[in-house]
Structure 1
Amino acid sequence: MRAVRQDPDPMLEAVRRAPLPPTEEATVTVVIPCFNYARFLEQAVHSALTQAGVDVEVIIVDDASTDDSLALARRLSSRDERVRVLANAVNRGPVATFNRGLAAARGEFLVRLDADDLLTPTALLRAVAVMQNLPEVGLVYGHPLHFHHGRGPARTQVTAWTVWRGDDWLAARCAAGDNVITSPEVVMRRSVLDRIGGQRELAHTHDMELWLRIAAHADVAYLEGCDQAWHREHDASLSIAAQEPHVFLREVRDAFETLCDTGGARGAEHLRRAARRGVALAALGYARRDLDRGDATATAADLRRLALELHPAVLDAPEGRAFEAAHHRAATWPRSLARLAGLPGRLARRRRIDARWERWSRTGVYEPLRIVSAAPAPRVLPLPRFAFREAV
């Protein structure tokens, strides 16, 4: 969920550290909520059970599937004592299903893995090494590889740890009005979850709200140079179901509002105002995609209404004035002329999106980083050469 912005990105302060090895074998619980994903479930479980260097338990929570998911989960449990199965008598949805698995977890660290996603080799070892060496860190994420059918190889050598104060990372997300995490690439500290609770009932941004809430109570770290998960994209996935900007921006808004209402964040009202402005600017940015093509669409009008609802003064900002000019052209000029006049804006937006995407791929955030107190220069940390069987 990337927000298109026109104003310069603020600098985000971080500490970059050289990687360190884990201090001891960690216990990690991988919770796999499953609803009608029998065709993917075994691969997800296999990717967790073959994680080297950590003591893994897998909890599959079947949400009253109508396919063979539950029967398959029980067969997997009968083959490996590290797999436990919980079954909902009725369909309860992804949030309650995950929270049931969370309540049963025994590990010191925890992963929420959708049944259609996979962990990359030694992903858990790389992440827990950060939290064992830096006890103030409550969430570690890395780069996810998105795939449809065939998936490419994953990078497994971490080059650096980037660490943010949780408050700083959270403030940046609010100011930008966006999310930077897919989901399966996250490892969480269980003790933090014990304090703040599990996921909240949000349609598509329950993961995002949890990441934000963790950052309100603990620091956040990113693993540079490696890939932490494979995220499968297909027509039935929840992430695909909410890709239209007029849908997901309202759900991003709901995540920020829920955080500020109940998340225990310091300076919640300041964060709320920043998030509303950030989402409002994102809405105008997405609407410009249509307007700069000479199309005054109903979607663009809806996004304008959303922006004004969130931040009534948004049209006084430079982005707002540029939006109104583009809207006037699309509504009153011949389409060919409006499209031609919108070309510089489309090209500038494309360059900006590409630059932001490249930064995110390297650093885990869209904003430029300012390293404030780096540890020794980043180096590649050779992890132990554990055997890993390719997921079936």
Structure 2
Amino acid sequence: MIKFSILIANYNNGKYFEDCYNSLISQTYKNWEAVIVDDASTDDSIEVIKAFIKNDPRFKLYHNPANKGCGFTKRECMKYAEGEICAYLDPDDALYPEALEKTINEFIQNTEIVAAYSQMMLCEDDLTPNKVFASTKQIYNSRYFFNCPTQFAHFFAFKKEIYLKTSGINPNLKSAVDQDLYLKILEHGDVKYIKEPLYLYRLHSNGISQQSAKQSAKESFAKVIYETMKRRGIRKINNQTVPESYTSSQEIYELLNYQTNKLHRLINKIKVALDL
């Protein structure tokens, strides 16, 4: 039976952990583990997490000695993962009860795929479902796919053996960490789209800080895309030259503007249909 590793990088999310925990112990698929790495939280996260997981051997809790950031902590999670299939779950989010079972079934039915991703449900601050994240689509995976504009996010599950073929998550990234992971994994094979929400994504009410975080993520994502272009040996995109060195996020996003036009999207839809 395939083992599923759920990876949780926690920082000051103790007050939300109960929902995350309950969603894991309610899974219909039983062969899983949860690897939690706490990034030197300053709230009561450790006490809260310990109280919930108690002596349940499926949960493994580790600590960073000092605050290291998201990239470092998510990379640490992978060091301890024992499952053949891995996926990240943020401690303030949750999974639908059949999330692991439905994901595992895709890997069983499609042995050649390297990853699978689903739709996600956007939720209120109390995790009440609001609406499905509309941007998630079936993608056409090519060396020019950068998930920009966003076409998939959570729930993203991948083979550990494939992760080990990459350079791994960049430990220096503070944001756009998941995007970095997606693009590295997709360089090694095909991905399966699960057209239903398996992930409950909590939208926090702190709008101002969220906006600044979005801007920071946009900058980081541009750098991730640039590194991806370099890693893939791409020198020209849509007859535009990829710069020798990174200068600004605007320059990178302008290279990809063509991917939002109707003709490009139509061509990709046709390619997807022919692949299916």
**TM-score, normalised relative to structure 2:** 0.80
Displacement, 1:89?
1.4
The structure richer in helix per residue is: 1
Match of 2:3 among 18, 24, 27: 27
Q: Does 1:269 align with 2:240?
A: no
Displacement, 1:135?
2.4
Q: Does 1:53 align with 2:29?
A: yes
Give distance in 2, aligned partners of 1:193 and 1:237.
35
Give distance in 2, aligned partners of 1:172 and 1:372.
17
Deviations along 1:227-271, whole A, 9 cap, x unmatched? Answer: 110111112899654334xx5443222011122334xx3x43346
Give distance in 2, aligned partners of 1:117 and 1:65.
17
Deviations along 1:165-189, whole A, 9 cap, x unmatched? Answer: x4x2x52337xx4332333x11111
Q: 1:373 to 1:219 in 2, by over 3 A?
A: closer
Corresponding pairs, count: 261
- Secondary structure of the equivalent of 1:26? coil
Task: Give the match for residue 99 of structure 1.
Answer: 75
Larger Rg: 1
Q: Does 1:259 align with 2:228?
A: yes
Q: Is the 8 A contact 1:178 1:252 kept in 2?
A: no
Displacement, 1:42?
2.0
Match of 1:118 among 94, 98, 116: 94
Q: 1:126 to 1:178 in 2, by over 3 A?
A: same
Q: Is the 8 A contact 2:6 2:89 kept in 1?
A: yes
Give distance in 2, aligned partners of 1:313 and 1:123.
36
How do 1:217-296 residues align onto structure 2 when only pairs under 5 Å count?
Answer: 217-224=188-195, 226-234=196-204, 235=206, 240-244=211-215, 247-262=216-231, 265=232, 267-270=233-236
Task: Give the match for residue 17 of structure 1.
Answer: none
Aligned amino acid, residue 227 of structure 1: P
Q: Does 1:67 align with 2:33?
A: no
Q: Is the 8 A contact 2:72 2:173 kept in 1?
A: no
Give distance in 1, aligned partners of 2:239 and 2:48.
47
Aligned amino acid, residue 215 of structure 1: L
Q: Does 1:86 align with 2:62?
A: yes
Q: 1:310 to 1:94 in 2, by over 3 A?
A: closer
Displacement, 1:80?
1.6
Task: Give the match for residue 172 of structure 1.
Answer: 145
Give distance in 2, aligned partners of 1:129 and 1:153.
27
Deviations along 1:181-219, whole A, 9 cap, x unmatched? Answer: 333x11111110111143113232121011011111121
Give distance in 2, aligned partners of 1:39 and 1:119.
17
Give distance in 2, aligned partners of 1:237 and 1:198.
32
Task: Give the match for residue 199 of structure 1.
Answer: 169
Give distance in 2, aligned partners of 1:237 and 1:139.
34
Task: Give the match for residue 342 of structure 1.
Answer: none
Q: Is the 8 A contact 1:204 1:238 kept in 2?
A: no
Q: 1:269 to 1:54 in 2, by over 3 A?
A: farther
Give the aligned CA root-mean-square deviation in angstroms.
3.7
Where in structure 1 are there 5+ consecutive unaligned residues?
A: 1-24, 156-160, 278-304, 319-348, 354-358, 360-364, 375-392
**TM-score, normalised relative to structure 1:** 0.58
Q: Which has the higher contact order (CA 8 A, sep 6+)?
A: 1
Give distance in 2, aligned partners of 1:70 and 1:146.
27
Percentage identity across aligned positions?
20
Aligned amino acid, residue 121 of structure 1: P
Deviations along 1:322-344, whole A, 9 cap, x unmatched? Answer: xxxxxxxxxxxxxxxxxxxxxxx
Where in structure 2 are there 5+ consecutive unaligned residues?
A: none
- Secondary structure of the equivalent of 2:3? strand
